[in-house]
């Protein structure tokens, strides 16, 4: 299995980017992708991971957001995805129309704007808009739901998850976003 899942999961919990058994992660392989099981805790042991094919057939127990992961891998070169529920990012997504403009130096460097997309959780509609957004970026926020970050590995996807929360927290603390 993928040893980075529990390590990244522990970082997500430590930074309060996920809570309970919310969120999911995946890593692309030659045969499809490994994804966390539905209802699993992201800091749990590697037994909470299943292999999914890229053709859309569902592996029993796969995360309810498997459609998003499949769509992103089919539409991009990304190798890993982290889906989290960071509270500042979720809150600001409810106030944003289509994107959030970052104001801090890290945001300017890595994600000057973060697209806000909409669709019901676990739906093909959400999968399509997230995949479109991540085809040209590393981070999007699903309105009122959470972040989907992608990259070359779980570390990079985690970095963009943490970045989005940091940028949204800075906006909140400076009361810049209205």
**pLDDT for the residue numbered 93:** 96
Write down the pTM of the prediction. Answer: 0.94
Q: Domain extents for the chain?
A: 4-174
Quickly count: other Cβ atoms within 10 Å of residue 101's Cβ.
15
Distance CA 138, CA 111 (A): 8
The token pair at 111 is: 């994600």
Distance of alpha carbon 17 from its chain centroid, rounded? 10
**pLDDT for the residue numbered 80:** 97
pLDDT tens profile 28-42? 999 899 999 998 888
The token pair at 128 is: 């399509």
Distance of alpha carbon 162 from its chain centroid, rounded? 10
The token pair at 23 is: 């969120």
Q: Could you say which of 2.130.10.10, 3.90.1150.10, 3.40.225.10, 3.40.50.300 is the CATH number of the domain covering 4-174?
A: 3.40.225.10
The position carrying tokens 């509609």 is 125
pLDDT tens profile 44-65? 766 788 999 988 688 888 899 9
Task: Answer whether 157's CB lies under 8 Å from 83's CB.
Answer: no
Distance CA 169, CA 75 (A): 30
């Amino acid at each position: 299995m993928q040893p980075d899942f529990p390590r990244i999961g522990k970082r997500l919990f430590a930074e309060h980017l996920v809570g309970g058994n919310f969120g999911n992660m995946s890593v692309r392989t030659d045969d499809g992708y490994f994804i966390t099981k539905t209802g699993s805790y992201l800091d749990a042991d590697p037994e909470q991971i299943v292999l999914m094919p890229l053709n859309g057939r569902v592996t029993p127990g796969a995360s309810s957001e498997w459609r998003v992961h499949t769509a992103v891998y089919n539409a991009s070169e990304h190798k890993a995805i982290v889906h989290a529920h960071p509270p500042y990012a979720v809150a600001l997504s409810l106030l944003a129309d289509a994107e959030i403009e970052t104001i801090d130096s890290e945001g300017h460097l890595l994600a000057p704007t973060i697209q806000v997309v909409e669709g019901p959780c676990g739906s093909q509609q959400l999968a399509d808009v997230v995949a479109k957004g991540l085809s040209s970026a590393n981070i999007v926020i699903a309105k009122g739901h959470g972040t989907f970050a992608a990259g070359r590995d779980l570390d990079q996807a985690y970095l963009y998850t943490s970045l989005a929360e940091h940028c949204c927290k800075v906006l909140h603390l400076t009361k810049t976003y209205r």
